[in-house]
Structure 1
Amino acid sequence: MSLDDERNGGLYGGSGETRTRLPEGEGGGQDVYGGARRSSRSSSRSLVTVVGVVVLLIAAIAFANRGGEDAGGGGGDGKKAGADPTAPSGERAVDGKTSGIPSGYTKTEQGAQSAAANYAVALGSADMFNKPRRDSVLQTVMAPSSVNRFKANLDKAYNAAFYKNVGLNDDGSTPKGYQFVSRTSPIGTKVTDWADGKATVEVWCGGLLGLAGEQSTKPVTSSYFTITMKLVWVGGDWKAATHSQKDGPAPVPGDDRASGSDEIAKAVEGYGGFTYAR
């Protein structure tokens, strides 16, 4: 859901943490996005909108997980992660792709983190709002034993009422004259549980969601959340068995000037995402 860019001359910052940056802008015309610096009151209104949408997304994922088996990395054999910083490893990103999603990870903690980060991007993309593309994403990133359950439950969750809440038409299509934005950008990852063939990985993310358009009542807003995935090693690759999401950690909002809707739309079209690897 978010636009990624390099900061400090590279993907990784000097502190050893993954850095991302949103495109800067002068602020467009006097549309719903503003063009003046945000006041605390307008930030509060935006926060209410973001929280409402995030709650819906969390509910959809929670609904999909209902009744699922705990196939993640638990048990007494698991190794709890220590307090070491999650510094970048310098290893090359995966070369393979399946349905446009990176695949072919190593059976290591770093490979599990890379898989979780890339799967977070896919599960938070605009493709999830289109039935055929959503099915393709789930078929690619989910463990075979979890695919049918997620498909069935997400089909129920992504309904006309849900689409309306994010500004789409009843069938999930984008209204004419607007551009739908749904992007997730991993900020950092960590392994919280590890055993042979099983891993639990948390992915701290920033996200963008909304409709870009001058008359939009659902403007593109940002949010921060943490995704937890329980991964299993299946068929020579990591696959997600379960997926859950919670709010934060969220930084204090800056005094950035909000960009115009046209600038946001062009940024989404012009800036592609990354393949993430430790």
Structure 2
Amino acid sequence: MSPGDEHDGYGGSGQTRTRLPEGNTGDVRGGPRRPARGSRSLLMAVGVVVLLVAAIAFANRGGEDPADASPTSRTPGKSATAATGTRPVTGHDGTVPTGFAHDEQGAQSAAANYAVALGSTDMFQKGPREALIRAVHDPAVTDALVKNLDASYSAAFLAAVGLTPEGTAPSGLTFVSRTVPVGAAVKDYTGTTATAEVWCTGLVGLAGKDSTKPVTSSWFTITQKLKWVGNDWKIVSWDQTEGPTPVNGDNRASGAGEIAEAVEGYGGFTYAR
């Protein structure tokens, strides 16, 4: 994929789909995130609080008796959100968790953690990007993918994003690129292969006083085809679609300084089913 075919975050616009074909990586950004097509759509990434705000607002609505709830409404079972208790990973390859369980739970954990890694700022820097791609993909697709991504993340593209030729933020600005999984599910599992879907929210942009590309959030679903390779799950190909997107809350938009401080002050997580 060329830089001009970027995403609206991880999700892209509408039903735009990007695939890393098995055995043929094509022009994609390895994993959930790929170069953007515009300043807003260029980076994408996080907004978990939206769901929280919506839930709190709903819970605080007055004058409603719980008994009046529609009998047809569904309440998710405990297993929909509860962790299984099995240790998700046993090690790390650089900054990427490794050693996922050889079962459906392990495939979900791998897909969620890979989505986070591939949605990070490392994807915009050549050295870290290659290390990341090789850590999470099937070795059969990595060489071609690394080459295609190096071409896509050209100096011209990085400049259009507001970054330096090295893929870093200009002085005085903080580059933000994060992906946060909200949920995951395995749609197909054979023991040696798995198809896992990860519903995500993400944020991306430049935080700072003179930024012309403010940090924005988006929602998207990533479908990863995984293969059991070398005693771990690895990505063979993936698709990305927009949404599901919740109704936006009434939160006041934070200033660039607040966003930069939050991104620098709060670390990420290792995700497990």
Q: Which TM-score applies when normalising by structure 1?
A: 0.71
CA contact (8 A) 2:137 2:234 kept: yes
Distance 1:52 1:195 in 2: 31
CA contact (8 A) 1:225 1:245 kept: yes
SS at match of 2:179: strand
Q: Tell me which of 244, 248, 251 is aligned to 1:249.
A: 244
Distance 2:9 2:85 in 1: 38
What is the aligned partner in structure 2 of residue 181 from structure 1?
176
- Alignment of 1:157 onto 2:113: no
Moved more, 119-128 or 164-173: 164-173
- Alignment of 1:122 onto 2:123: no
CA contact (8 A) 1:68 1:242 kept: no
Q: Tell me which of 58, 68, 77 is aligned to 2:24.
A: 68
Q: CA deviation at 1:152?
A: 1.4
- Alignment of 1:206 onto 2:234: no
- Alignment of 1:232 onto 2:227: yes
CA contact (8 A) 2:97 2:113 kept: yes
Mind listing any 5+ residue stretches in structure 1 that lack a counterpart?
Answer: 1-49, 70-82
SS at match of 1:169: coil
CA contact (8 A) 1:104 1:237 kept: yes
Distance 2:175 2:207 in 1: 6
Q: CA deviation at 1:118?
A: 0.4
Q: CA deviation at 1:63?
A: 7.1
Q: In structure 1, what residue type is equivalent to 2:91?
A: G
CA contact (8 A) 2:88 2:106 kept: no
Structure 1 moving runs of 4+ over 6 Å: none
SS at match of 2:250: coil
Q: Which TM-score applies when normalising by structure 2?
A: 0.72
Identity %: 52
RMSD: 2.5
CA contact (8 A) 1:63 1:154 kept: no
CA contact (8 A) 1:120 1:184 kept: yes
Q: Residue deviations 1:69-107, cap 9 Å, x none? A: 8xxxxxxxxxxxxx9863431222313111121100111
- Alignment of 1:168 onto 2:163: yes
Distance 1:93 1:194 in 2: 18
Q: CA deviation at 1:51?
A: 3.5
Distance 2:261 2:18 in 1: 33
What is the aligned partner in structure 1 of residue 107 from structure 2?
112
Distance 1:54 1:205 in 2: 9
Mind listing any 5+ residue stretches in structure 2 that lack a counterpart?
Answer: 1-6, 26-75
Distance 1:54 1:225 in 2: 4
SS at match of 1:202: strand
Q: CA deviation at 1:165?
A: 3.8
SS at match of 2:80: coil
CA contact (8 A) 2:96 2:135 kept: yes
Distance 1:134 1:225 in 2: 22
For residues 25-174 of structure 1, what are the structure 2 equivalents within 5 Å?
51=8, 55=12, 62=18, 65=21, 68=24, 86-87=80-81, 88-174=83-169
Residues 118/52 of structure 1: CA separation in 2 closer, same or farther (3 Å cut):
closer
Residues 51/96 of structure 1: CA separation in 2 closer, same or farther (3 Å cut):
closer
Q: CA deviation at 1:113?
A: 0.2
Aligned residues, how many?
A: 214
Q: CA deviation at 1:52?
A: 8.1
